[in-house]
Amino acid sequence: MAYNYLSKASINKRNKIIQDKWDNFGKLNPEEREVISEAYEAMRSCVSMLTDCQDLYISDVRKLDMATYHLKSLWAIGRELESLDDAEEKS
C-alpha cells in the first residue's frame, strides 16, 4: 500500500503560505475583515444550497446582494469606478 505523504520541506512551505495568508488578512482593518467574512459566508451558503437542492432561498439572494453592496461600498468596486476612469481618460 502506497502512502501519499508530504516531505517536511513541503509541509513547511504549505504552512508558510497559510501563515502569509493569515498575516495579510490580519493587516486589514476590522470592517474589511468583517465584510470579507460575511461575503464568503453568503457565497458558501448559496453554493451549498444550490448543490444540495438546485434551488436558492430569497434570504440567500438577499445575503448575496448585501455582500455585494458592502464589498462595493468598502472598496469602490463596480461600474461606477470604471465610469470614473473613462471620464478621466476623456478629459
Residue 43 within a domain: yes
Domain-located, residue 86: yes
Residue range 54-71: mean pLDDT, rounded: 92
- Tell me if 65 is assigned to some domain: yes
Cα 45 to Cα 51: distance, rounded to the nearest angstrom: 10
In a domain, 18, yes or no: no
pLDDT 10s digits, 3-44: 567 788 888 898 999 899 888 888 989 999 999 999 999 999
Number of domains in the chain: 1
Looking at residue 11, what is its pLDDT?
87
Distances, alpha carbon 18 to alpha carbons 4, 15, 34, in Å: 21, 5, 19
pLDDT at 81 over 90: no
Distance, CA of 32 to CA of 77 (rounded, Å)? 13
Residue 24 lies in a domain: no
Q: Looking at the domain assignment, is residue 4 inside a domain?
A: no
Could you tell me the residue range of the domain that residue 47 belongs to?
31-90
Q: Which pLDDT does position 3 carry in this prediction?
A: 58
